[in-house]
Amino acid sequence: MSKQKFKTEVTKLLDIVINSLYSEKYIFLRELISNASDACDKLRYYSLTNPGIVKNNGEFKITITPNAEENTLTVSDNGIGMNKDDLVHHLGTIAKSGTAEFVNNAKDNGSIVDLIGKFGVGFYSAFMVASKVEVTTRRAGEEQAWLWTSNGVDGFEITEAKRDKVGTDIKLYLKDDAKDYVDTIYLRHIIRTYSDHINYPIVLDLGKAGEETVNTGSALWTKNKADITDEQYNEFYHHISRNFDTPWLRLHFKAEGNIEYTGLLYIPSEAPYDLFQPDRQQSLKLYVNRVFISDKVEGLMPAYLRFVKGIIDSADLPLNISREMLQQNALIAKIKNGTVGRILKELKTRSEDYDDYMKFWKVFGIAFKEGIYEDVANREMVASLSRFYSTNDNERLTSLDEYISRVNEGQTNIYYITGDDVPTLRNNPQLEAFKAKGIEVLLLTDPIDEFWVQVLTNYKGYPIKHVSQADMDLKMERDTPRADEGSLKKLTDFMSELFKNEVGKVVATEKLTSSPVSLTVENGQMSIHLERLMRNHQQQTSFASSRILEVNPYHPLIIKLADSMFDKSQLLDQAKIAEGEAITDSSFFSEKLSDYILRGWQKSA
C-alpha cells in the first residue's frame, strides 16, 4: 500500500512533540500502557455479551518486551485490537475538534506533557523516543491483521499482516539517546511508579529469564484509603483522565444502603480544551464488580459537572446491561443523585477557604453555574456555591449568602445587572442610585447568567431582581435644580416622537445621578444583554424587547436641552454606548461630538 499523508495538523503536532525540549520522555510508556489497558477494558466488556469473541485469547495482560540488541521496545496487549479503518481514524488523525488549538498552544507552551493530557494524543508521544513505530493489530471478531508503520514525519503505511490472536503490538525503534528504555531496571521503576494501579498484569518479558509481573494489578478504588498514597491517587488520576496536572479535589467514598457503590472522583486543576463544546460528554467510567462497562453513560453525571473525572463501581448493576438500558436504569439515577450530593458537600467544605476555592471557581465556575439552571433538585445548593462579582468589592467575588448578610435595612431583594464585562457594568448609569444608597448589585457577565436568573427567582426568601425591576424607593434628597415639569413633559414627548423607531418611550427617572440618560427595557422583557447575545449568535430577535430611554431631570444637559448646542439625537446614542449597544450612525455621532467639543473650546476661549 502506498504511503498516506497525515492530516496537516497531525504533521504540525508531531513536529512539535518530537522536536520540543522536553525532558520527561518516559511519559510515552505510561500513555501506551494506559491505551493497552483501555483496549483490554473494551474487549472485556464486549465479551460479556459475546463470550466467543475472546476464545483462546488467554488472561488479559499487557506485555513489555525490551530488546537491547535491536534497541527496540514493544508494548503488547490482548485487548480489542484495531482494523484498517480504526488505524486510519485513530493513528492517522487526531480528534476532530481541538486539534488546531492544540497546535497553537503547543507552539508557545514549554510543557508538552500538559497538552498531551488535555488533547488526548498520547500515542504520538512515542515519537519522542522512537525513530519509527510499527503497530501490528487484529480486531476482535475479525481474522485479518494489519501493520501500521510510520517514522512520524512524512505519513504512514498500512499493509496486511498476521497475528495469531486479537490485540495490538506497538514496536518502537528507539533513537540513540533513548537506550534507557531497554534497561529492565529502569522499566520496572517507570511501571511501578506510574502504572502500578493498572487493573491488568503488566508483564516484563525478560527473554530466557522468563516473565515478571511488575505491577500489583489491583483496582485502586477497592483498597482502603489509609493504604493509598497521594502519589498513587495522582497517578490513577493521570491514567483515567489523561491529564498531567495535580487534581484540585479528590473524593474517594463507598456508599452503602439500598444500593452500594464505590466512587473515586477528581476535579482537575486545569480545564479541558473542550469544556464548552456542545458534543462534549462527561468522562466518568462505570464499572460493575471491577469490570469496565462504559465511559459514555449520560445519566451518571449532570452536564454542569462534566469536568469531574473518575470511576463509579457498583455490584448492584447487572453485568450484561446494555448502554441503552443504562440510560434508563433507576439505579443509575440513584447513583447520580448520591454522587452529586457528595461532590456538592465537598465543595461546600472547600469553599470556606476563599483563595483555595477561587482556584476551582476561576477554572470551572462558568460551567458549574449551569447547574442553577439545570439541576432542579440541587438548585439552591449550587447557587450557594456560586460566586459573583458585585459593586461591593472590585476584586473579591461574593456568594449569595454573603450578599444577604450585607443587605441594607428594609432591603427585601437581591439585585443584579447583566452585561459583557465587569468594568463596563460598574459604570452603567442604571447603578447610580443603587450606589448612592449603598445597595449592592451583582454584576453578571457570563451567558448562563441570563438564564439561571429566570428560574431561580428567589433565594432564601429574597426575590432576585434585575435593577430595572427595582420596586423600592430610589428617590434621593437632592439640592440641585430640577427641570420644570411642564418643560420636562414637552421634552420627553418630543424625544418619544423623535426616537419612535428605536425606543418604545422616553420617561423621566429618579435613578440617575451623574448621567443624563440610560437605556432599559420593560419589566419581564428580554434584557438588552441577552438580546445582544442572541443577535451575535444569529438567533431570531422578532421578540426584541421594547426599549425605554430614561432621562435625568437633574442633569444640566437635560435642563438646558431646549437651547443647548448639543444635538438631541445624540442622547440616545449616548445611552446606547453606556449599555454596550452599537449606535445607529457612528460617523454622524463622531461628527456631532467633534463639533460640540470645538464649540466648547471656542466658547471657553
Query: By residue range, what is the domain housing residue 27?
Result: 8-218
Q: Can you give the CATH number for the domain in which 554 is found?
A: 1.20.120.790
348-406 pLDDT tens trace: 999 999 999 999 999 999 999 999 999 999 999 999 999 999 999 888 999 999 999 99
Last residue of a domain, one of 474, 493, 509: 474
d(CA 381, CA 393): 24
Q: Which of 419, 453, 474 is the last residue of a domain?
A: 474
* 181 shares a domain with 247: no
Do 358 and 499 fall into the same domain?
A: no
Cα distance between residue 331 and residue 316, in whole Å:
8
CATH of the domain at 392: 3.40.50.11260
Q: Is 167 inside any structural domain?
A: yes
Residues 555 and 484 placed together within one structural domain of the fold: yes
Q: Are 273 and 239 within one domain?
A: yes
Instruction: State the total domains in the chain.
Output: 4
Within this chain, do residues 226 and 214 fall inside the same structural domain, yes or no?
no
E-only strand ranges, 376-452: 388-390, 393-398, 414-418, 441-444
Q: How far is CA 238 from CA 120, 241, 347, in A?
A: 12, 5, 22
Q: What is the pLDDT of residues 499-540, one digit of tens each?
A: 888 888 888 888 888 888 888 887 766 777 777 766 666 555
pLDDT for residue 169: 97
Beta carbons of 311 and 263 less than 8 angstroms apart: yes
My answer on whether 49 and 88 are in the same domain is yes
pLDDT of 524 = 65
In this predicted structure, what is the pLDDT of residue 279? 64
Same domain for 353 and 416, yes or no, is no
- Is pTM, for the whole model, over 0.75? no
> Between the CA of residue 334 and those of 79, 256, 267, 290, 533, what are the distances in Å?
32, 12, 21, 19, 37
Q: Are residues 231 and 211 in the same domain?
A: no
* Inside any domain, residue 170: yes
Domain contains 19: yes
Q: Verify that 447 and 576 share a domain, yes or no.
A: no
Residues 342 and 254 reside in one and the same domain: yes
Q: How far apart are CA 279 and CA 326, in angstroms?
A: 20
Q: H/E/C letters for each residue in 340-389?
A: HHHHHHHHHHHCCCHHHHHHHHHHHHHHHCHHHHHCCCCHHHHHHHCCEE
**Which residues does residue 187 pair with via DSSP β-bridges, in sequence order?**
none
Asked, for residue 462, whether it belongs to a domain, the answer is yes
Query: Which pLDDT belongs to residue 322?
Result: 55
304 domain-assigned: yes
Residues 338 and 393 in one domain: no
CATH number of the structural domain spanning residue 293: 3.30.230.80
Residue 180 lies in a domain: yes
Low-confidence ranges of the chain (pLDDT < 50): 21-22, 95-100, 102-103, 106, 109-120, 541-543, 562-563, 565-566
Residue 175 included in any domain: yes
Q: Flag whether 373 is in a domain.
A: no
Domain finish residue from 189, 218, 247: 218
Q: Within this chain, do residues 323 and 348 fall inside the same structural domain, yes or no? A: yes
